[in-house]
Amino acid sequence: MSDSKQATARTRRRMAGRDIHEAHRVSTPLELLFDLTFVVAIAAAAAQLHHSVGAHHLAQGMLGYVSTFFAVWWAWMNFTWFASAYDTDDSTYRLCTIVQMIGVLILAAGVARAAQGDFGMVTIGYVVMRSGLVALWWRAAREHPERRQTCMRYVVGILSVQTLWVARLALPPTLGYPSFFALVVAELAVPMWAAKSGHTPWHAHHIAERYGLFTIIVLGECVLGATTAIGNIIDAQGWSWNVAWVGGGATSLVLALWWVYFLVPSGESLHHHRERAFRWGYGHFTVFASLAALGAFLGVVADQLKAANVGPKADPHAVSPTLAIALVAGAVAVYLTSVASMSARVTGAGKHPFAWVWLAALLVLFGVVGAVAAGLPLAWALPLVTLAPAVPIAAIERRRAAQHASPAPTP
Protein backbone atom coordinates (compact mmCIF):
# COMPACT_ATOMS: atom_id res chain seq x y z
CA MET A 1 0.00 0.00 0.00
CA SER A 2 1.30 3.45 -0.89
CA ASP A 3 2.05 6.07 1.75
CA SER A 4 -0.95 8.16 0.63
CA LYS A 5 -3.31 5.19 0.99
CA GLN A 6 -1.90 4.41 4.43
CA ALA A 7 -2.46 8.02 5.47
CA THR A 8 -6.06 7.85 4.20
CA ALA A 9 -6.64 4.62 6.13
CA ARG A 10 -5.38 6.26 9.28
CA THR A 11 -7.43 9.40 8.68
CA ARG A 12 -10.83 7.79 8.31
CA ARG A 13 -12.09 4.44 9.56
CA ARG A 14 -15.46 2.82 9.09
CA MET A 15 -17.75 3.54 12.04
CA ALA A 16 -19.14 0.02 12.23
CA GLY A 17 -19.38 -0.31 16.01
CA ARG A 18 -16.83 -1.52 18.55
CA ASP A 19 -16.49 -5.11 19.74
CA ILE A 20 -18.35 -5.44 23.06
CA HIS A 21 -15.86 -8.17 24.07
CA GLU A 22 -12.75 -6.20 23.11
CA ALA A 23 -9.90 -7.02 25.49
CA HIS A 24 -8.09 -4.30 27.42
CA ARG A 25 -10.47 -1.52 26.31
CA VAL A 26 -9.56 1.65 28.21
CA SER A 27 -10.31 5.36 28.04
CA THR A 28 -8.55 7.23 25.24
CA PRO A 29 -6.57 10.46 25.65
CA LEU A 30 -9.35 12.24 23.74
CA GLU A 31 -11.96 11.02 26.23
CA LEU A 32 -9.81 12.19 29.13
CA LEU A 33 -9.41 15.60 27.50
CA PHE A 34 -13.17 15.72 26.99
CA ASP A 35 -13.67 15.04 30.71
CA LEU A 36 -11.40 17.94 31.62
CA THR A 37 -13.73 20.40 29.91
CA PHE A 38 -16.35 19.47 32.49
CA VAL A 39 -14.14 20.44 35.44
CA VAL A 40 -14.97 24.11 34.90
CA ALA A 41 -18.69 23.44 34.52
CA ILE A 42 -18.88 21.32 37.67
CA ALA A 43 -16.88 23.88 39.66
CA ALA A 44 -19.20 26.66 38.48
CA ALA A 45 -22.31 24.72 39.50
CA ALA A 46 -20.85 23.94 42.95
CA ALA A 47 -19.74 27.56 43.43
CA GLN A 48 -23.25 28.81 42.70
CA LEU A 49 -24.70 26.39 45.24
CA HIS A 50 -22.14 27.50 47.83
CA HIS A 51 -23.03 31.15 47.21
CA SER A 52 -26.78 30.50 47.43
CA VAL A 53 -26.51 28.67 50.75
CA GLY A 54 -24.30 31.41 52.17
CA ALA A 55 -26.93 33.97 51.13
CA HIS A 56 -29.66 31.89 52.85
CA HIS A 57 -31.35 31.00 49.55
CA LEU A 58 -31.17 27.26 50.12
CA ALA A 59 -34.33 26.18 48.27
CA GLN A 60 -33.67 28.41 45.27
CA GLY A 61 -30.02 27.41 45.24
CA MET A 62 -30.81 23.69 45.32
CA LEU A 63 -33.33 24.04 42.48
CA GLY A 64 -30.83 25.96 40.37
CA TYR A 65 -28.08 23.50 41.20
CA VAL A 66 -30.10 20.41 40.27
CA SER A 67 -31.10 21.93 36.94
CA THR A 68 -27.61 23.12 36.00
CA PHE A 69 -25.93 19.92 37.13
CA PHE A 70 -28.36 17.91 35.04
CA ALA A 71 -27.34 19.95 32.00
CA VAL A 72 -23.67 19.25 32.74
CA TRP A 73 -24.14 15.55 33.49
CA TRP A 74 -26.37 14.90 30.48
CA ALA A 75 -23.86 16.50 28.13
CA TRP A 76 -21.21 14.13 29.46
CA MET A 77 -23.55 11.14 29.25
CA ASN A 78 -24.46 11.77 25.60
CA PHE A 79 -20.87 11.64 24.41
CA THR A 80 -19.65 8.91 26.75
CA TRP A 81 -22.10 6.24 25.64
CA PHE A 82 -21.65 7.10 21.97
CA ALA A 83 -17.87 6.92 22.29
CA SER A 84 -18.03 3.54 24.00
CA ALA A 85 -19.96 2.15 21.03
CA TYR A 86 -18.49 4.00 18.03
CA ASP A 87 -15.13 5.59 18.84
CA THR A 88 -12.95 5.42 15.72
CA ASP A 89 -10.38 8.02 16.86
CA ASP A 90 -9.91 9.22 13.29
CA SER A 91 -9.64 12.85 12.24
CA THR A 92 -13.36 13.32 11.53
CA TYR A 93 -14.29 11.81 14.88
CA ARG A 94 -11.78 14.01 16.69
CA LEU A 95 -13.02 17.18 15.00
CA CYS A 96 -16.64 16.41 15.91
CA THR A 97 -15.55 15.75 19.49
CA ILE A 98 -13.66 19.05 19.61
CA VAL A 99 -16.85 20.81 18.50
CA GLN A 100 -18.61 19.17 21.46
CA MET A 101 -15.85 20.37 23.80
CA ILE A 102 -16.37 23.93 22.60
CA GLY A 103 -20.06 23.53 23.33
CA VAL A 104 -19.28 22.28 26.83
CA LEU A 105 -17.12 25.34 27.53
CA ILE A 106 -19.95 27.63 26.36
CA LEU A 107 -22.28 25.66 28.64
CA ALA A 108 -19.86 26.16 31.54
CA ALA A 109 -19.82 29.91 30.90
CA GLY A 110 -23.60 29.95 31.29
CA VAL A 111 -23.86 27.92 34.49
CA ALA A 112 -24.00 30.98 36.77
CA ARG A 113 -26.89 32.45 34.76
CA ALA A 114 -28.65 29.10 34.56
CA ALA A 115 -28.66 28.85 38.35
CA GLN A 116 -30.81 32.00 38.29
CA GLY A 117 -33.16 30.50 35.69
CA ASP A 118 -31.56 31.98 32.55
CA PHE A 119 -30.66 29.04 30.30
CA GLY A 120 -29.83 31.10 27.21
CA MET A 121 -26.07 30.51 27.27
CA VAL A 122 -26.47 26.86 28.28
CA THR A 123 -28.86 26.34 25.37
CA ILE A 124 -26.37 27.89 22.94
CA GLY A 125 -23.70 25.57 24.32
CA TYR A 126 -25.98 22.60 23.75
CA VAL A 127 -26.70 23.68 20.16
CA VAL A 128 -22.97 23.80 19.42
CA MET A 129 -22.27 20.58 21.27
CA ARG A 130 -25.08 18.65 19.64
CA SER A 131 -24.11 19.73 16.16
CA GLY A 132 -21.01 17.59 16.64
CA LEU A 133 -22.89 14.76 18.35
CA VAL A 134 -25.65 14.56 15.71
CA ALA A 135 -23.00 14.50 12.97
CA LEU A 136 -21.45 11.47 14.65
CA TRP A 137 -24.79 9.66 15.05
CA TRP A 138 -25.56 10.39 11.39
CA ARG A 139 -22.22 8.95 10.37
CA ALA A 140 -22.83 5.83 12.49
CA ALA A 141 -26.23 5.39 10.84
CA ARG A 142 -24.60 5.40 7.40
CA GLU A 143 -21.66 3.18 8.27
CA HIS A 144 -23.29 0.67 10.65
CA PRO A 145 -26.33 -0.65 8.75
CA GLU A 146 -27.15 -3.23 11.45
CA ARG A 147 -27.95 -0.37 13.82
CA ARG A 148 -29.04 2.24 11.29
CA GLN A 149 -32.55 2.56 12.74
CA THR A 150 -31.20 2.95 16.28
CA CYS A 151 -28.73 5.64 15.24
CA MET A 152 -31.35 7.50 13.21
CA ARG A 153 -33.66 7.49 16.22
CA TYR A 154 -30.90 9.22 18.15
CA VAL A 155 -30.55 11.79 15.36
CA VAL A 156 -34.30 12.48 15.24
CA GLY A 157 -34.73 12.43 19.02
CA ILE A 158 -31.79 14.72 19.78
CA LEU A 159 -32.74 17.24 17.10
CA SER A 160 -36.40 17.25 18.15
CA VAL A 161 -35.71 17.81 21.84
CA GLN A 162 -33.04 20.40 21.10
CA THR A 163 -35.55 22.32 18.98
CA LEU A 164 -37.89 22.37 21.98
CA TRP A 165 -35.06 23.66 24.20
CA VAL A 166 -34.52 26.57 21.83
CA ALA A 167 -38.27 27.25 21.66
CA ARG A 168 -38.40 27.19 25.46
CA LEU A 169 -36.37 30.41 25.58
CA ALA A 170 -39.45 32.27 24.31
CA LEU A 171 -41.64 31.09 27.20
CA PRO A 172 -42.50 33.44 30.09
CA PRO A 173 -40.37 33.07 33.27
CA THR A 174 -43.28 31.47 35.15
CA LEU A 175 -43.02 28.44 32.85
CA GLY A 176 -39.23 28.23 33.12
CA TYR A 177 -38.81 25.37 35.56
CA PRO A 178 -42.00 23.42 34.63
CA SER A 179 -40.89 23.38 30.99
CA PHE A 180 -37.35 22.51 32.05
CA PHE A 181 -38.37 19.38 33.92
CA ALA A 182 -40.78 18.37 31.15
CA LEU A 183 -37.90 18.49 28.67
CA VAL A 184 -35.68 16.57 31.08
CA VAL A 185 -38.18 13.71 30.82
CA ALA A 186 -38.03 13.99 27.03
CA GLU A 187 -34.21 13.90 27.12
CA LEU A 188 -34.18 10.76 29.25
CA ALA A 189 -36.71 9.11 26.96
CA VAL A 190 -34.67 9.50 23.76
CA PRO A 191 -32.05 6.78 24.50
CA MET A 192 -34.73 4.37 25.73
CA TRP A 193 -36.79 4.98 22.58
CA ALA A 194 -33.74 4.50 20.37
CA ALA A 195 -32.78 1.28 22.17
CA LYS A 196 -36.10 -0.31 21.23
CA SER A 197 -34.65 -0.70 17.73
CA GLY A 198 -31.55 -2.40 19.11
CA HIS A 199 -28.79 -1.56 21.57
CA THR A 200 -25.57 0.10 20.50
CA PRO A 201 -22.34 -1.94 20.96
CA TRP A 202 -21.08 -0.20 24.09
CA HIS A 203 -18.34 -1.88 26.12
CA ALA A 204 -19.26 -2.75 29.72
CA HIS A 205 -15.81 -2.44 31.30
CA HIS A 206 -15.06 0.71 29.31
CA ILE A 207 -18.31 2.35 30.47
CA ALA A 208 -17.62 1.37 34.08
CA GLU A 209 -14.15 2.89 33.82
CA ARG A 210 -15.52 6.10 32.28
CA TYR A 211 -18.01 6.51 35.12
CA GLY A 212 -15.32 5.79 37.67
CA LEU A 213 -13.05 8.44 36.19
CA PHE A 214 -15.86 10.99 36.20
CA THR A 215 -16.53 10.14 39.84
CA ILE A 216 -12.91 11.00 40.61
CA ILE A 217 -13.25 14.29 38.73
CA VAL A 218 -16.33 15.22 40.76
CA LEU A 219 -14.52 14.21 43.95
CA GLY A 220 -12.11 16.99 43.06
CA GLU A 221 -14.80 19.43 44.20
CA CYS A 222 -14.74 17.76 47.60
CA VAL A 223 -10.96 18.08 47.72
CA LEU A 224 -11.34 21.79 46.95
CA GLY A 225 -13.92 22.15 49.72
CA ALA A 226 -11.67 20.35 52.20
CA THR A 227 -8.72 22.55 51.26
CA THR A 228 -10.83 25.67 51.69
CA ALA A 229 -11.98 24.51 55.12
CA ILE A 230 -8.39 23.95 56.27
CA GLY A 231 -7.29 27.33 54.92
CA ASN A 232 -10.14 29.17 56.65
CA ILE A 233 -9.32 27.59 60.00
CA ILE A 234 -5.68 28.63 59.68
CA ASP A 235 -6.66 32.17 58.64
CA ALA A 236 -9.02 32.53 61.59
CA GLN A 237 -7.01 31.02 64.45
CA GLY A 238 -3.64 29.87 63.12
CA TRP A 239 -2.40 26.35 63.59
CA SER A 240 -4.46 24.47 66.17
CA TRP A 241 -6.02 21.12 66.91
CA ASN A 242 -9.05 22.25 64.92
CA VAL A 243 -6.88 22.25 61.81
CA ALA A 244 -6.07 18.59 62.44
CA TRP A 245 -9.71 17.74 63.11
CA VAL A 246 -11.04 19.54 60.04
CA GLY A 247 -8.20 18.58 57.72
CA GLY A 248 -8.11 14.97 58.78
CA GLY A 249 -11.89 14.65 58.84
CA ALA A 250 -12.51 16.24 55.44
CA THR A 251 -9.68 14.36 53.75
CA SER A 252 -10.71 11.04 55.30
CA LEU A 253 -14.29 11.64 54.18
CA VAL A 254 -13.26 12.19 50.56
CA LEU A 255 -11.08 9.07 50.55
CA ALA A 256 -13.82 6.98 52.17
CA LEU A 257 -16.40 8.08 49.60
CA TRP A 258 -13.95 7.14 46.83
CA TRP A 259 -13.48 3.71 48.41
CA VAL A 260 -17.23 3.14 48.72
CA TYR A 261 -17.84 3.80 45.03
CA PHE A 262 -15.30 1.24 43.88
CA LEU A 263 -16.73 -1.48 46.11
CA VAL A 264 -19.35 -2.07 43.40
CA PRO A 265 -18.21 -4.49 40.63
CA SER A 266 -19.92 -2.46 37.92
CA GLY A 267 -17.87 -3.57 34.91
CA GLU A 268 -18.23 -7.29 35.50
CA SER A 269 -21.93 -7.03 36.37
CA LEU A 270 -22.77 -4.90 33.32
CA HIS A 271 -20.86 -7.32 31.11
CA HIS A 272 -23.16 -10.15 32.18
CA HIS A 273 -26.35 -8.07 32.51
CA ARG A 274 -26.39 -5.44 29.78
CA GLU A 275 -30.14 -4.97 30.24
CA ARG A 276 -29.44 -3.16 33.53
CA ALA A 277 -27.46 -0.39 31.87
CA PHE A 278 -30.18 2.28 31.83
CA ARG A 279 -31.02 1.99 35.51
CA TRP A 280 -27.35 1.93 36.42
CA GLY A 281 -26.37 4.81 34.14
CA TYR A 282 -29.27 7.10 34.98
CA GLY A 283 -28.90 6.31 38.68
CA HIS A 284 -25.49 7.94 38.63
CA PHE A 285 -27.04 11.39 38.43
CA THR A 286 -27.53 11.49 42.20
CA VAL A 287 -24.09 9.94 42.76
CA PHE A 288 -22.36 12.71 40.84
CA ALA A 289 -24.68 15.52 41.96
CA SER A 290 -24.33 14.67 45.66
CA LEU A 291 -20.53 14.58 45.44
CA ALA A 292 -20.31 17.98 43.75
CA ALA A 293 -22.82 19.36 46.27
CA LEU A 294 -20.69 17.96 49.10
CA GLY A 295 -17.79 20.04 47.82
CA ALA A 296 -19.99 23.14 48.01
CA PHE A 297 -21.20 22.23 51.50
CA LEU A 298 -17.67 21.68 52.77
CA GLY A 299 -17.11 25.25 51.62
CA VAL A 300 -20.12 26.28 53.73
CA VAL A 301 -18.55 24.51 56.73
CA ALA A 302 -15.34 26.42 56.03
CA ASP A 303 -17.25 29.72 56.01
CA GLN A 304 -18.96 28.89 59.30
CA LEU A 305 -15.72 27.88 61.00
CA LYS A 306 -14.08 31.11 59.91
CA ALA A 307 -17.06 33.23 60.98
CA ALA A 308 -17.11 31.58 64.40
CA ASN A 309 -13.46 32.38 65.08
CA VAL A 310 -13.09 36.05 64.22
CA GLY A 311 -14.31 37.38 67.54
CA PRO A 312 -16.60 40.40 67.67
CA LYS A 313 -16.45 40.77 63.88
CA ALA A 314 -18.18 37.44 63.35
CA ASP A 315 -20.87 37.52 60.72
CA PRO A 316 -24.26 37.41 62.50
CA HIS A 317 -25.86 36.11 59.30
CA ALA A 318 -23.52 33.15 58.88
CA VAL A 319 -25.04 29.71 58.41
CA SER A 320 -25.49 27.91 61.73
CA PRO A 321 -23.20 24.99 62.63
CA THR A 322 -26.19 22.64 62.70
CA LEU A 323 -27.30 23.59 59.19
CA ALA A 324 -23.73 23.36 57.90
CA ILE A 325 -23.21 19.81 59.19
CA ALA A 326 -26.75 18.84 58.15
CA LEU A 327 -25.97 19.83 54.57
CA VAL A 328 -22.76 17.79 54.61
CA ALA A 329 -24.52 14.81 56.19
CA GLY A 330 -27.39 15.12 53.72
CA ALA A 331 -25.05 15.05 50.72
CA VAL A 332 -23.23 12.01 52.13
CA ALA A 333 -26.58 10.31 52.82
CA VAL A 334 -27.75 10.86 49.24
CA TYR A 335 -24.43 9.56 47.95
CA LEU A 336 -24.44 6.42 50.09
CA THR A 337 -28.09 5.70 49.27
CA SER A 338 -27.34 6.18 45.57
CA VAL A 339 -24.34 3.85 45.64
CA ALA A 340 -26.33 1.22 47.56
CA SER A 341 -29.15 1.51 45.04
CA MET A 342 -26.69 1.35 42.15
CA SER A 343 -25.14 -1.77 43.64
CA ALA A 344 -28.57 -3.39 43.87
CA ARG A 345 -29.37 -2.39 40.28
CA VAL A 346 -26.21 -3.73 38.75
CA THR A 347 -25.93 -6.93 40.81
CA GLY A 348 -29.64 -7.74 40.79
CA ALA A 349 -32.57 -5.91 42.40
CA GLY A 350 -33.44 -7.18 45.84
CA LYS A 351 -30.26 -9.24 46.20
CA HIS A 352 -28.09 -6.79 48.07
CA PRO A 353 -26.73 -8.65 51.14
CA PHE A 354 -25.83 -5.59 53.19
CA ALA A 355 -28.98 -3.46 53.43
CA TRP A 356 -28.51 -3.19 57.19
CA VAL A 357 -24.99 -1.84 56.67
CA TRP A 358 -26.20 1.09 54.57
CA LEU A 359 -28.98 1.78 57.09
CA ALA A 360 -26.42 1.86 59.90
CA ALA A 361 -24.37 4.36 57.90
CA LEU A 362 -27.38 6.67 57.59
CA LEU A 363 -28.04 6.40 61.34
CA VAL A 364 -24.47 7.54 61.98
CA LEU A 365 -25.15 10.69 59.95
CA PHE A 366 -28.34 11.44 61.87
CA GLY A 367 -26.41 11.01 65.10
CA VAL A 368 -23.69 13.45 64.04
CA VAL A 369 -26.24 16.14 63.14
CA GLY A 370 -27.97 15.62 66.47
CA ALA A 371 -24.67 15.88 68.32
CA VAL A 372 -23.83 19.23 66.69
CA ALA A 373 -27.33 20.49 67.47
CA ALA A 374 -26.67 19.52 71.09
CA GLY A 375 -23.41 21.48 71.22
CA LEU A 376 -20.65 19.38 69.67
CA PRO A 377 -18.12 21.70 67.96
CA LEU A 378 -18.46 21.67 64.18
CA ALA A 379 -14.74 21.03 63.71
CA TRP A 380 -15.06 17.81 65.70
CA ALA A 381 -18.06 16.62 63.71
CA LEU A 382 -16.35 16.17 60.34
CA PRO A 383 -14.26 13.15 61.45
CA LEU A 384 -17.45 11.57 62.80
CA VAL A 385 -19.17 11.93 59.42
CA THR A 386 -16.41 9.73 57.99
CA LEU A 387 -17.70 6.87 60.16
CA ALA A 388 -20.77 6.63 57.89
CA PRO A 389 -18.97 5.42 54.74
CA ALA A 390 -16.54 3.48 56.95
CA VAL A 391 -19.37 1.16 58.02
CA PRO A 392 -20.07 -0.36 54.57
CA ILE A 393 -16.36 -0.35 53.72
CA ALA A 394 -15.51 -2.42 56.79
CA ALA A 395 -18.43 -4.83 56.39
CA ILE A 396 -18.01 -5.50 52.67
CA GLU A 397 -14.22 -5.73 52.74
CA ARG A 398 -14.42 -8.11 55.69
CA ARG A 399 -16.85 -10.32 53.78
CA ARG A 400 -14.60 -10.31 50.72
CA ALA A 401 -11.58 -11.23 52.83
CA ALA A 402 -13.51 -14.12 54.36
CA GLN A 403 -14.58 -15.36 50.93
CA HIS A 404 -11.01 -15.13 49.68
CA ALA A 405 -9.68 -17.02 52.69
CA SER A 406 -12.26 -19.81 52.54
CA PRO A 407 -10.93 -23.01 50.92
CA ALA A 408 -12.19 -23.92 47.48
CA PRO A 409 -14.75 -26.74 47.43
CA THR A 410 -13.29 -30.16 46.70
CA PRO A 411 -14.52 -31.90 43.57
- Output the pLDDT for position 5: 46
**68-72, 101-105, 134-138, 237-241: the lowest-pLDDT one:** 237-241
* 59-77 per-position pLDDT tens digit: 999 999 999 999 999 999 9
Residue 240 lies in a domain: yes
Is the Cβ–Cβ distance between 91 and 12 less than 8 Å? yes
End-of-domain residue from the set 173, 195, 217: 195
Q: With H, G, I as helix, E, B as strand and everything else as coil, classify residue 409.
A: coil
Is the Cβ–Cβ distance between 325 and 301 less than 8 Å? yes
Is the Cβ–Cβ distance between 306 and 230 less than 8 Å? no
Neighbours of 240 (CB within 10 A): 14
d(CA 297, CA 226) in angstroms, rounded, equals 10
Q: With H, G, I as helix, E, B as strand and everything else as coil, classify residue 112.
A: helix
pTM across the whole model: 0.90
pLDDT band at 6 (very low <50, low <70, confident <90, very high): very low
Residue 6 lies in a domain: no
End-of-domain residue from the set 195, 227, 246: 195
* 373-402 per-position pLDDT tens digit: 999 999 899 999 999 999 999 988 888 787
Task: Tell me the CB-side half-sphere exposure of residue 174, using CA atoms within 13 A.
Answer: 0
DSSP 294: H
- Output the pLDDT for position 248: 87
Domain that holds residue 139: 27-195
Number of separate domains in the chain: 2
d(CA 6, CA 24) in angstroms, rounded, equals 25
End-of-domain residue from the set 195, 220, 255: 195
